[in-house]
């Protein structure tokens, strides 16, 4: 039996972070959970312990550098050296840019971008003395191809890619034994669409195809085990997004401008003053644990051929080249139509 590793997961109380934490727990690892919501953290601890792992919940707002730094020190005090650090935590505002306040935009940026910066800083502070460790950034296809109504979130995801590339090159320069990689996610069925701040007239939804968060969790675990690659791609929508961006960016802009509003909303009318988790957690009180899944189980996929291909990219390099050409042609034909 392998020695349990110490894994820190931010945003671990719900959604992708919750699924990631559970996946590492099932491997028998020691999982440190960072998030704001106490009920969500308690639920995650129970799931990890049932799966066979050990868990430590540390209520943390990743937008606060000092809180993240203290959490990292506590993790090592309890479980020993941090082997893997996973940055997942984020928040967002669904609204046209003109309807987002400066305070809201700042908050999204502090959590969804600076939270990754602070997490990476804390991880490196503990990993560099040992010259060992892995950092995995949970990214998004929207970090390569932005869409309407999510300007703050898209900006943060773009920033994460640039920041991570810079850090990676510095580690390579130093011949470091520390690795950093990004897992670019497709649309996922997480609770965010129920608690994100929204000024849309109808209920927010992920743009199909939608995948279950367990797909994301398996991808993150694989990336943590094989971190030498710059990034991993998950899901059909991710591949189509990147292909469209490279082949026909101007045409894709027009397409998204025409379809991007409706595709991110269901037919259900919602109150624009509904509670949200931008400034305060919605899973802090007893009985408010949201778990990993959102409201779209019936429409979500539990498998991803793209993840399999991403994991076997080297052996499929020739076939992938031919497939990319076919995918590009399909995207161009669809957009032209």
255 is catalytic: no
Of 28, 39, 119, 15, which Cα lies nearest the Cα of 75? 119
- Which residues, 6+ apart, have CB-to-CB distance to 336 below 8 Å? 251
The contacts found for 166-174 with CB under 8 angstroms, 24 or more apart, are 167/120, 168/230
Q: Which of 153, 211, 255, 261 is catalytic?
A: 153
Positions of E strands within 99-228? 133-140, 178-185, 187-188, 197-198, 202-204, 210-211
Cis peptide bond N-terminal to 209, omega within 30:
yes
Rounded Cα–Cα distance for residues 334 and 337 (Å) = 5
CB contact at 8 A, 204 and 193: yes
- The phi-psi region of residue 198 (left if phi > 0; otherwise alpha if psi is between -120 and 50; otherwise beta) is beta
Catalytic residues: 153
């Amino acid at each position: 039996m392998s020695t349990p590793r110490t894994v820190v997961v931010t945003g671990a109380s719900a959604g992708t972070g919750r699924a990631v934490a559970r996946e590492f727990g099932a491997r028998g690892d020691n999982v440190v959970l960072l998030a704001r919501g106490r009920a969500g953290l308690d639920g995650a601890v129970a799931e990890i312990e049932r799966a066979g792992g050990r868990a430590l919940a540390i209520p943390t707002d990743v937008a606060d550098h000092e809180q993240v730094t203290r959490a990292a020190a506590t993790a090592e005090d309890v479980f020993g050296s941090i082997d893997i650090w996973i940055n997942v935590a984020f928040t967002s505002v669904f609204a046209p840019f003109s309807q987002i306040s400066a305070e809201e935009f700042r908050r999204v940026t502090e959590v969804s971008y600076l939270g990754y910066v602070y997490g990476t800083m804390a991880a490196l502070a503990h990993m560099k003395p040992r010259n060992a460790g892995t950092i995995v950034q949970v990214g998004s296809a929207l970090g390569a191809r932005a869409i309407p109504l999510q300007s703050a979130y898209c900006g943060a995801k773009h920033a994460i890619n640039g920041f991570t590339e810079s850090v990676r090159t510095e580690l390579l320069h130093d011949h470091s034994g520390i690795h950093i990689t990004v897992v670019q996610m497709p649309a996922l069925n997480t609770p965010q669409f129920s608690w994100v701040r929204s000024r849309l007239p109808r209920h927010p939804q992920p743009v199909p195809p939608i995948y279950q968060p367990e797909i994301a969790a398996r991808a993150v675990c694989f990336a943590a085990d094989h971190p030498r690659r710059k990034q991993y791609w998950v899901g059909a929508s991710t591949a189509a997004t990147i292909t469209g961006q490279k082949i026909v960016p101007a045409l894709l802009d027009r397409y998204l401008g025409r379809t991007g509003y409706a595709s991110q909303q269901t037919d259900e009318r919602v109150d624009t003053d509904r509670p949200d988790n931008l400034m305060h957690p919605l899973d802090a009180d007893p009985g408010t644990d949201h778990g990993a899944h959102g409201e779209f189980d019936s429409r979500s996929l539990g498998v991803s051929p793209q993840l399999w291909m991403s994991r076997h990219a080297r052996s499929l390099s020739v076939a992938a080249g031919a497939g990319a050409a076919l995918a590009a042609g399909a995207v161009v034909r669809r957009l032209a139509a």
